[in-house]
Chains A and B, each alone.
Chain A
Amino acid sequence: MLPPIVNIFQGLLTFFTMEPLMAILRLILILLGILLLYLGYRNVLEPLIMVPMGLSMAVVNAAIMLMAAQKYGTLFLDPFAGSVTEVVDALQIYFLQPIYTLTFTNGLIACLVFAGIGVLTDLDFFIVRPGLSMLLAIAAELGTIATLPIAYFLGFSLRESASIAIVGGADGPMVLFTTLMLARNLFVPITIVAYVYLSITYAVYPYLMKALIPRHMRGTFMDPHEIPSVSSREKFAFSVVACILLSLLFPVAAPLFVSFFLGVIVKEAKITRYQKFFDEVLLTGSTLFLGFVLGALLSVNVILDMRIFLILILGMVALLLSGLGGLAAGVAAYYLSHKKINPLIGIAAVSCVPTTAKVAQKVAQEANPETIILPFAMGPNVAGVITTAIICAIYVTLLPLL
């Protein structure tokens, strides 16, 4: 029997009144939140996402209390609010509900992040070597494709499998978008897995590169001065044409395409006010709320789907396969170019702008301090964003027809 004083401290009280398994899981989630927070603080994982996510994940599980009808809940948000009445009620009760309802459930947050990425995207090498960039990128989509049948054979539906497979594209906004369109029921676990794993590319990909590519190949010298200059006019024209054409082909993914290319176009049109707004305000604010709301969704009473462990494994498989595909294409490019192309630019084609390009540069420089492959890696890196958006568009368009 608990002393009456405990009733005042509802977060503690619910620890003792809920089922023991739930209480243990809740404690694990609090500790996991603190771990993510710490790893973000130490820059082991991406701090921009992990710090707000870890904090809200720990707090949302600490602050569980008894709500109306003796149900457990928090004052953060209710992702299960479905009917108009439920949503309107939720908007008045939960403090993160307006952000969740108005930016998550319609995919707006993904588009805002994508617009910010567009402003940061450098198209130079992609414009100079589009064929090489796109072929590397399509090879680095191996995980995005191969994970589809693997997940399906493990018991997920076709739509759920596609949502899990898109993790291999290593683009958070695309995962958000695809999952919202195809498998809203798995939105929380898949998105969490995607964002945690995108941070892990920092830690895992360097080992993959060192394990598979010999040192002399990793240190292949590429001279950035050999990249011809590309005018803003070319980049601007490409962005406009590609945006319209891709939207024409895949109207379902038009919000993603227009958001990304709007960012690129603003940059190439040198509209500095918008550039600053997209980069410093829009991208920063969207990333903060993305991390914070994702953490808040990781409440023990929300993630009861035990399939999350399978999704964890499949997410890792998808990213590893994409990395392997990119590296294999990089090695092929190395030999076909008579050893002039550093094979590590292949892994940059996995996308995750600009993380994988930075990781490739770091590993190349460890093997040869004089080599600078970052400008070359940005080509396949950008192509990776475009190919992932194309595959996302095909999944979202094709699968509902089957």
Chain B
Amino acid sequence: MDILQVAATVYLIALIISLLVAVIVVVIRTLTSEKKQPAGEHDLEVVIAASLAAYASEVKPSLSVEERTTEGKVGFW
């Protein structure tokens, strides 16, 4: 194998592996994309925390964070 063939081979392999990495990104993005997931698959803790905060702030905006959470938890559940 002469030197130009070596260079061409290295470039070709690098191109293929790079495209493979790009495909992996697309696959992972498709599998983990939150927009395309049903609601039940979301991170439950995040959903609960966001809902609690939103609910509590609507009900009693003057309460502290701890109070809101407690209030929210009561109201949410």
Tell me the A residues contacting B by CB distance below 8 Å.
126-127, 130-131, 133-135, 137-138, 141, 145-146, 148-149, 152-153, 158, 161, 230-231, 233-234, 237-238, 241-242, 245-246, 249, 383, 386-387, 390-391, 394-395, 398-399, 402
Contacts and interface: CB of A to CB of B under 8 A. Distances in A.
12 contacts: A130-B22, A131-B19, A148-B10, A152-B3, A233-B34, A245-B20, A246-B17, A383-B18, A390-B14, A398-B6, A398-B9, A402-B1
Given A145-B11, A387-B14, A126 B25 contact: yes
B21 interface: yes
B28 interface: yes
Given A130-B21, A394-B14, 14 more contacts: A130-B22, A130-B26, A138-B18, A145-B10, A146-B7, A148-B3, A149-B6, A233-B32, A237-B32, A238-B25, A246-B17, A390-B17, A390-B21, A398-B9
Contact of B24 (A153, A230, A233, A241): A241
A241 B49 CA distance: 30
B4 A149 contact: yes
A242 B17 CA distance: 11
B24 A134 contact: no
Nearest to A137: B18
A394 B9 CA distance: 10
A141 B11 CA distance: 9
A138 B29 contact: no
Interface of B: 1, 3-4, 6-7, 9-11, 13-15, 17-22, 24-26, 28-29, 31-34
A120 to B, nearest CB: 20
A383 B25 CA distance: 12
Given A149-B4, A152-B3, A402-B6, A234 B29 contact: yes
Contacts of A246: 17, 21
Contacts of A398: 6, 9-10, 13
A134 B22 CA distance: 7
Nearest to A387: B18
B7 A238 contact: no
Contacts of B20: 245
A265 to B, nearest CB: 14
Contact of A158 (B3, B15, B24, B32): B3
Contacts of B28: 234, 237-238, 241
A249 B25 CA distance: 17
Contact of A138 (B3, B14, B25, B32): B14
A141 B21 contact: no
A249 B10 contact: no
Contacts of B1: 402
Given A134-B22, A234-B29, A386-B21, A391 B4 contact: no
A127 B29 contact: yes
Contacts of A394: 10, 13-14
A154 to B, nearest CB: 11
Contacts of A131: 19, 22, 26
Given A237-B28, A386-B21, A138 B4 contact: no
Contacts of A402: 1, 6
A399 B19 CA distance: 23
Given A138-B14, A149-B4, A387-B14, A242 B21 contact: yes
Contacts of B22: 130-131, 133-134
Contacts of B9: 398
A249 B21 CA distance: 12
Nearest to B8: A145
Given A127-B25, A145-B7, A249 B17 contact: yes
Contacts of B32: 231, 233-234, 237
Most buried by B among A126, A127, A161, A237: A237
Contacts of B15: 138
Contacts of A153: 3
Instruction: Please name the 4 residue pairs, one residue from A and one from B, whose CB atoms are nearest each other, closest first.
Output: A130-B25, A130-B22, A134-B18, A134-B22
